[in-house]
Structures are given as structure tokens and as C-alpha cells.
Chain A
Amino acid sequence: MANVPEDPSDRTLEDVFYPADRIPFVEWDELSGAKPTVVLTGGVALLAFVTGLSNLSQASLALNGPLTAVVDLPLAVVRFGGVLFAFILGIVTVGLQRRKRLAWRVAVVVALGLVLLPLATFQPTDIPLLVMTLVTYPLLVRNRHRFDQSLDLSPIQIASLSAIFGVILYGTVGAYGLRGQFLELDSWGDAVYYVVVTIATVGYGDITPVTAEARWFSLSIILFGTGAFTVAVGALIGPAIESRMATAFGVMTASDLTLLEDHVVVLGYGDVTASLLEELGEETAVVVVTPDEETVASLKDEGVNLLTGDPTDEDVLRDARVGTASGVVVGSNDDARDVLAVIATKNVNPDIRTVAAATDQKHVEKFRAVGADEVINPRSIGGRLLGQSVLGRGSTESLLTGIGTDNGDPDNSE
């Protein structure tokens, strides 16, 4: 970088054909992680939607793919399949983004279904979807261990979901059993249709109870069903809204941080950390964990992720995803709490590189003792710099570079 020739035409053929360092054609590591998997799944969902719409817009759809020779797929399934799968996959993508195990399982099944659809129709428009799904599938399988979060439903969510399921089951079986007492209710399909239309409070009125018994039965579905439906909507959507509100106030919830990997976690906020954030800000994602609400408010506009919590608490550190972080910086003004934070960090992830800033020189060894990989005492560095500078041994710049390499800091090469 330093000696760019003044005249661009002075470069030699070396520069044209042989670069100093070999550049990989494709950064495979960057393209095969969990994040690209989520993005690709989203892309598949979008493409499935467009392809499904394209199939729907065609006046007639011929099934002449290789799959039709093996199994007999009903035309309706194929026609609407693309769009339906796209909706499911869209929801699943959100789940995958939160690293949910269940989402991964559903994605693996739905993606298989998406491979079958193009093989049934074999339209030219289906092939991009087929190719993209076939590219995504190995990534899903390869990153299976990355999607390890359980769904973590609260008791009320579980209760309301099972209530809905129970009411639908009860309603379907009951309505089918009483089908003689309903107008135009003849099959299992009609029964499901009637129950869902009733629970959702739509009630077209094409199927109507005609006896007293059937009316009482319908009333029970309406009471229990709409009740469960309303509670479920509240229980499932409420937390999402709460999390949105919390984010708006500058506080991250654990699920917002699940996407992070190879980030730097900064525990505590002190004098050193302010300039640290400037240094790190451009290069990597940073999560600041601090118990102080005021600091959080002041940092809200700085473009860093904030987590309000106690840095000495292992659960908070897990939320900050210390497990997948590339490093941890401990640097509040309180050495005693910092030592506890180092211990907590090492409890969560013993292998992580931990750098501590000691406020007091005599605490350096204590940090080392609890497992900090690197301990820096900003004051003593400042003092040494002052001394070197006043004696005139080289410029401050070169001293700084020297210190950078002494400490083996890999990010400080320039």
C-alpha cells in the first residue's frame, strides 16, 4: 500500500499477472455458514412464491415430469403447492434466523417437497427453483448443528396452542358425528371447513346446524374456539411486540442477538471502552453488555448492539452469544467486578480470547490468575509513552506500533 507508483504506467508485468498474495476465487467459509443458509432459504421461499404464481397464471398446467411416472400427484396439489410451500418457508426462514431447531426440521421437509414439485411439472420456469433448492439443501444439512435453539414457548403459549388444536379436533370429530343434523355437511373435509370458519369468526353460513343438539354443539365450538384463538393470538404476537418495543428503547433481547457470530463482546463500559468502540466499530459487530441504563441510553445512536444486564451473570453472557464470539473485552472502571466477569466468561466459553483492561497496576496478575489471555494496563502504557517521548526515542506513532505487536494484537497491523 505504501509505495504506489506515482505514474500508473510504471507498474511491471508482475503486477498484471502475479499478485503479491493469492486471492481465493470464492470465500467458501463466508458462503457456507449459517447466515448464507438463512439468506438462501429466504431466496428459495421467494422463488417458490414467484414460480407458484407463474404456475397459477398459466391457463393449463401439464404434468409431464419424470416424477409423474412414479406417483400420481393430484393437479390441485401441484398448482397451489408452490405458493403454499413459499408461505411455510417464509415463516420458517424467520425461525431459522433465530436459529430454531424446529424451523430447521420443517425447512428440511419443505425443501424436499419443493424438489418434488418441479420434478412433477418440469416447466422451464421451475428449473431455477429446483437448482436453488438443490444448492440450499447441502447447506442446510451442513449447518445442522448451528440451528440448536429450542422453541422456548411459554406455558400460556403452549396452553393456547394445544387448546386450539383440541378444539379443532373436538369440533371436526363432533361435526362429522352429527352430520345428519347439519345442512350441507357431508364429509370430513366439510367438517374441518365448518370448524375453521366458525373458530375464525367468519361464519359464511353455508353449513348450518338444524337441530337443537347441533346448535348447542356449535355454540360450544364458538365459545371455546374463539376464546382459544384470541388467547393464542395474544400469547404468540404479544412477545414479538414487546421485543420490538424494547429494541426501540435501545435494548436488545436475546433473540435479536442470535444472528451474531464472530463478534466482539465488550463487558462493562468505562473510560477505555469508548475509544475501543471507535476502533472496533468499522470492522466487526460489537455487543456491549452493561448494567447501567444511562450508558445504554447514551450509546443508543452509536450503532452498536446493546444488552442491558449484569456482565458477571453467565446467563446474560450466553445471551450475548459469548459462545460464538471471536473475543471478549472486559473494561469497566471496577476491577473487582471485571475479575468476576472474566471468570463468568471463562465459565461460558473456556476457549474464548479474553482481553482485560486493568485499572490498577497491582490487579494485572489477578486478571491473569483467573484466566484472562491478555491484560492491558492503559495507565502504565500511557506513562511509558510519555517517558519514551520526552527522551526523544522515536516518534509516538512508531512506539504505538511497537506496543501493538508486543501484545500480539492481530488487528493492529496498519
Chain B
Amino acid sequence: MATSDASGIAETVGRLLAPLCAASGALVLAGFFFPTLVGEAVTGPAWLTVALVFFSSGLCYIALLPYSEDSTGPAAADVFLRVRRTNVRRAVREFLTQHEPTILAFPVLVFAAFFALQMAFPTRTTSAVDAAAATVLTAGGPLFLAAVFLSVCYCLFLLVGPWGDIKLGGPDTEPSYTYPTYFTLVFTAGIAAGLVFWGPTEALFHYDQPPPYVGAPAQSVAAINGALVYTLFHWGISAWSAYAVIGVPIAYFAFTRGAPLRVSTVLAPVLGVDGLDSVWAKIVDTLAVFATIGGIATSVALVSEQFLAGINYQWDVAAGEIGPVLVVGGLTLIFVVSSATGIHRGIRRIAGLNVVLFGLFALLIVAVGPRSFILQRGTQAVGTYALEFVPLSLHMGGQWVAEWTVWNWSWWFSWAPFAGLFVAALSRGRRVRTVVFTSVVATSAATIVWFLLLGGTSLFIQHTGQADILAAIAQRGGSEAVVGFPLLSSLPLGQLLLFLFLALIIVFMATSADTSTLVVSVLATRRGVAPSATHIVFWGVFQGAVAVSVLLVGGAETLQALAVLTGGPFAVISLVAAGGLTVTWLRNERGHTSLVRRAVRKLPDIQTHHDVDPPEEK
């Protein structure tokens, strides 16, 4: 098969991982079932190590399980023999020639330059980037709001309009993925551990400091609804539309016009399919690689820090300096293995596990959380969200909107190139309507339910005074990472929920990072050349290395701001893409029927049947 050269190694590693996973799993289970007995023997940092070993060995083992039972790769000994025979210089030259030189060089150089500057002038670099970010987000605010709002309108039009009928790849193409797999991959790739951290947190922040649009006094009953509505707004349909607007044009031009499967394909209506070798296309691809690596690496670094901050808060385990590096190392191992084994093994299986854990956690919250409060407040919030969607989308409330809404939109747009390209790659053989429905409606429905469950629970706990989560945040200097821990431990089954919560953080981060690694490898290799396992491992390790450097050198927030800034160009590009796609389809795709017309056509049929069919008519 495709990765058969690596499967010999994979088999050997898998054989080592199985006992490792079983041993650490047994220890974790023993600690879970007999906390008093085992707790005395094993101390805090050791638990952290055991848990990390358990998560990473388990997930790697799942990823490495063979593709199908009868596919036999070469034995490990043969692979090692081949490795010994490989000429290093030739291998490196081959590796370099398979890459697009600018796309390989630019991100590497930019990250190196960033870290050099950060080490030499830490304060000046930070303040420069912060100033740039503040300027862009304030001045460019209207642009982001407009781009997101137009994206939502465009997605809505694709969903009900005639072009929803267009099948990507021609009418005879069959989809390569079953629908559950398709949804799982799109959902888990598009959203990372931010979902887990901000789920209980964001509504609480808006409750503490109500947005100017809501205008309610802080921590009041009126602020509850406003907080939930704004949370839904920031994570709902608007956010996911950014992916679809980038993904649908790429998919259309790649599968029906023979354009390459790259981010720059969104420019096909402007440059023409033959013009995709131009400088502009290279700039877009390079920017996409930079945005993806910057976005994922800072996410990995921040998630690791937050993961440890939470553990420190809950169990008083001081991980020290080396802790975050270990967590990043474990995460990097997981997503590199998952990505190198490919979509059909690692990426898909871990994504499936992710969705199962996600559902299980949500079910447990439903079981132990304040159901009637969530139901009542949730329906009210969803109603307000639907009714006031347009004013919310167009509201430019000065500083607050720049710091929250615009920052958020820019962050989603900076993720759009890789998530959009991935959505496009999976969508061959699906109708545009299905693509938009899955990547916008279904995914945002899942996030909306999640944010209502967790946000509602944390608001309930805070408002009724069962636990003072806001005080815990203030005590930690405003870190959003700790919120989940006082919240969950104040619920019944707290220990189990906390364990699942930690697992979800790791798995959600891994499912986004493995996809991004694959996408970056696809973008960085030359057209027509698919990335080999070596490329994927290189880019995965590169992302991990950037994350580690961020942790060691400092400046995670600065690099994040830098990555977010790339959202600006992609907001513009998405508008260009949507416009170009519309022009192309106006010219070439006629004769499709819209959902509305289909519904209207059904109506008179029923009427003729009932009214205009008298038996005496001759």
C-alpha cells in the first residue's frame, strides 16, 4: 500500500506499544479505582507521566493498527536494511527537490527570524506585534465582520439555492467516505482543544463583563442570556462558514476543472486554472502554510500550558519547566504518527474516538448537570441568537468587539486555509448542499449544543454560588484554563468528568494537528507529487519544534497574534473566491433546481390530487 515502506517499522513499534499502553493503562485504572491505596505509592508528577504515556501509547497504537488484515508490509528487518543502504546526501536532495522551494523556505525562515528577534528583543518584538495586531483588528474590524456575514449569506444561498445541486466531481462520482466518517473528519479537524477550554469559559467571561451590545449589568440574570447568545454567536454558524467559503471553491475547481488540490486553487476564477503556477498562487500557498503552522503550533503550546495549569490548580502538581515540553512532545508524537499513517488509519480512527468521547462527555453532563436551567436558558438563547443574528453580525461596538468578535473571526479565517482544503479534499462526490450542510450546519449544531451544555452549567454554578469559578480565574491571573476544573469537581461524578475532560483536550488537539500536518505536507510538495511519510514526519516535527521553541523562548501569545494576522488576507481571499465562484457558476452551471423550487413544485401536485380530480371529468 501507499505507506508500505513504513509499515514494517510500524509493526515493530506497534508491538512495543501494546504492552506499554496496557501497563500504563492498568496503572491509570488502578489509580482510578483504588485512589487511597495507589495514591500513596504514586505521586503527582509520576501520575502526569503515566497518564501521558497512556494517552500517547494508546492513540499511537490505534493509529498503527494495520490497514486491513491481509495487507502485509515488508518485515522490519528489510526496512532497517534499506535505511542502512540509503545514501544520506541523495535522500536529502530528493527530499528538497520534491518540495516547492519557496513554500519550504519561507515558513522556516520566518519562524527562525521570529525566534531570533524574540530572543534578542523580547519586549520590543511583543509590543510591535501587539501594536500591529491591535491596528489591524481595530481598523480592519468592518472588513472581518463583513467577510463573515457575507460568508454566512453565501452558505445559506448555496444550501437552499439551485447551486446546491452541483455534484463535486461530476454526476457519476461516488463519495469516497461514508457520511458519518465525513462528518467526523470535518468536525474534528476544524475545531481543536479551544472547544474544550472555551466551552465552560466564554459564557462566564461575558457574564462577568457583559458585551456592550447586551448592555446588562455584570453578573445579573439579564447578563446570563446575553452571555450565552454571544458565545453561540462566536462559535456558531458564522465561524464555520469561513471554512465552507474556502472549501467549496477549491473542491469545485479541483474536481470538475482539474485544478490541483491546493489552497491557491481558490484563485482559479481570477487567474484561470492554467494561471495557478503564477506568483500569486505561490504567495497564497505559502501564506496558508505559514498560517497553519503558526496557528497549530501556538495552539499546541498554549493547550499544553493550559493543560498543566489546570492540573496544577486541581491536584497541585507542579510540572516545572520541563512539563509543558513533555506534553508538547507527547502530543507531537501522537499527531505525527496519526498523520503519517494516513487518513484511513490514524486520522480517521482518532477522529472517531474523539467524537465518541465528545458524545459521552456531553451525555454525562446532561445526566448530572442542571438540565432544566440549561433547557430553559438554552432555548431562550438560541431564539435570541436566531432573531438578532443580523444586528449581532453587523454590530461594531468599538474596543470590545475588536478584542473578542474580530479577533475570533480572524482566528477562524487563519485556520480556514487548512480546514477548508481538508473539507474540499473529503468532499469529492458530494453535492455542494451536503458539503455546506455538513461543514456549517451540522458542525455548528454540535458546537452550539456543547456550548449551551457547558456554558449553561458553569453559569448555573456561578450564579447560584455552588462554586466561585470567577474567583478561581482571578486567582490565576485571568487564565481560562482553570475554569473546567472547579466547575467539574463541583458536579457529581467530578473525578470521571475531569479524566474525560483531560482526554478530550489531548484528542481534540491531536485530531486538528494531524490534519494540519497532512495539509501542510500536501501544500509544500510540488504539484502532482504526494507527500511521503518522510515529508509528513518532517512537517509534523517542525510544528512540534515551533511549539517547543515558543514554550522555551516565550511569546506564545505574540506568535499567535502573528498567525491571527494572516486571517486578514484570507478574509479578502474568501470574498474573492466566493465572487469568482459565483461568476463561474452563472456562466457554466445552469439548470439546477433550488430547494425552494423543489418544495413549490411538490405543492400543486398535492392540490391537483385532492381538488382538481373530479370523477365525472371526461
**What residues of chain B have their CB less than 8 Å away from a CB belonging to chain A?**
1-5, 29, 32-34, 36-37, 67-68, 94, 98, 176-178, 180-181, 261, 342-344, 348, 352, 360, 364, 425-426, 428, 492-497, 518, 522, 528-535
Please, how many angstroms separate the alpha-carbon atoms of A18 and B425 in the complex?
Answer: 9
Please, how many angstroms separate the alpha-carbon atoms of A131 and B518 in the complex?
Answer: 35
Q: Which residues of A contact B4 (CB under 8 A)?
A: 4, 8
Question: Are A23 and B496 within 8 A (Cβ)?
Answer: no
Tell me whether A352 is interfacial, beta carbon within 8 Å. Answer: no
Please, how many angstroms separate the alpha-carbon atoms of A48 and B364 in the complex?
Answer: 20
Most buried by A among B261, B344, B426: B344
Please, how many angstroms separate the alpha-carbon atoms of A18 and B364 in the complex?
Answer: 36
Looking at the assembled complex, report how far the CB atom of B549 sits from the nearest CB atom of chain A, in whole angstroms.
Answer: 28
Q: Identify which of residues 1-35 in chain A touch chain B, using a CB-to-CB cut-off of 8 Å.
A: 4, 8-19, 22-26
Question: Are A18 and B2 within 8 A (Cβ)?
Answer: no
Q: Which residues of A contact B178 (CB under 8 A)?
A: 22, 24-25
Question: Are B180 and A25 within 8 A (Cβ)?
Answer: yes
Find B530's partner among A13, A19, A26, A127 (CB 8 Å cutoff).
Answer: A13
Question: Are B2 and A57 within 8 A (Cβ)?
Answer: no
Q: Which residues of A contact B98 (CB under 8 A)?
A: 9
- 5 interchain residue pairs of minimum CB distance: A124-B496, A54-B33, A124-B495, A9-B532, A15-B2
Q: Which residues of B contact A54 (CB under 8 A)?
A: 33-34
- Contacts A13-B261, A19-B344, A124-B496; A25 near B352 (Cβ below 8 A): yes
Tell me whether A183 is interfacial, beta carbon within 8 Å. Answer: no
Question: Are B36 and A25 within 8 A (Cβ)?
Answer: no
Please, how many angstroms separate the alpha-carbon atoms of A9 and B426 in the complex?
Answer: 21
- Contacts A11-B2, A58-B36, A127-B493; A17 near B533 (Cβ below 8 A): no
Looking at the assembled complex, report how far the CB atom of A57 sits from the nearest CB atom of chain B, in whole angstroms.
Answer: 6
Tell me whether A284 is interfacial, beta carbon within 8 Å. Answer: no
Chain A minimum-CB-distance residue to B72: A1
Q: Which residues of A contact B425 (CB under 8 A)?
A: 13, 17
Question: Are A51 and B530 within 8 A (Cβ)?
Answer: no
Tell me whether A222 is interfacial, beta carbon within 8 Å. Answer: no
Question: Are B33 and A23 within 8 A (Cβ)?
Answer: no
Looking at the assembled complex, report how far the CB atom of A63 sits from the nearest CB atom of chain B, in whole angstroms.
Answer: 13
Q: Which residues of B contact A11 (CB under 8 A)?
A: 2, 530, 532
Question: Are A16 and B36 within 8 A (Cβ)?
Answer: no
A16-B2, A23-B344, A125-B32 known, 8 other contacts, Cβ within 8 Å: A9-B530, A11-B2, A12-B529, A17-B261, A23-B68, A25-B352, A125-B33, A127-B364
Tell me whether A224 is interfacial, beta carbon within 8 Å. Answer: no
Find A16's partner among B180, B342, B364 (CB 8 Å cutoff).
Answer: B342
Please, how many angstroms separate the alpha-carbon atoms of A9 and B5 in the complex?
Answer: 11
Please, how many angstroms separate the alpha-carbon atoms of A12 and B3 in the complex?
Answer: 12
Question: Are A16 and B531 within 8 A (Cβ)?
Answer: yes
Q: Which residues of B contact A64 (CB under 8 A)?
A: 492
Please, how many angstroms separate the alpha-carbon atoms of A131 and B356 in the complex?
Answer: 13
- Contacts A13-B522, A25-B348, A124-B495; A8 near B3 (Cβ below 8 A): yes
Tell me whether A53 is interfacial, beta carbon within 8 Å. Answer: yes
Most buried by A among B67, B177, B533: B177
Q: Which residues of B contact A25 (CB under 8 A)?
A: 178, 180-181, 348, 352
Question: Are A18 and B176 within 8 A (Cβ)?
Answer: yes
Tell me whether A122 is interfacial, beta carbon within 8 Å. Answer: yes
Chain B minimum-CB-distance residue to A50: B33
User: Would you list 16 pairs from A and B whose C-beta atoms are within 8 A, ordered by A residue?
Assistant: A8-B3, A9-B98, A9-B529, A11-B532, A12-B528, A16-B342, A16-B518, A25-B178, A25-B348, A57-B34, A64-B492, A124-B493, A124-B494, A124-B495, A124-B497, A131-B360
Looking at the assembled complex, report how far the CB atom of B31 sits from the nearest CB atom of chain A, in whole angstroms.
Answer: 11
Question: Are A16 and B522 within 8 A (Cβ)?
Answer: yes
Q: Which residues of B contact A4 (CB under 8 A)?
A: 1, 4
Chain A minimum-CB-distance residue to B5: A8
Q: Which residues of A contact B493 (CB under 8 A)?
A: 122, 124, 127
Most buried by B among A18, A64, A131: A18
Question: Are A51 and B33 within 8 A (Cβ)?
Answer: yes
Q: Which residues of B contact A51 (CB under 8 A)?
A: 33
Q: Which residues of B contact A15 (CB under 8 A)?
A: 2, 530
Please, how many angstroms separate the alpha-carbon atoms of A26 and B34 in the complex?
Answer: 33
Q: Hey, what's the 0/1 contact readout for A106-145 against B, CB within 8 Å counting as 1?
A: 0000000000000000101101000100000000000000
Question: Are B348 and A122 within 8 A (Cβ)?
Answer: no
Question: Are B530 and A16 within 8 A (Cβ)?
Answer: yes
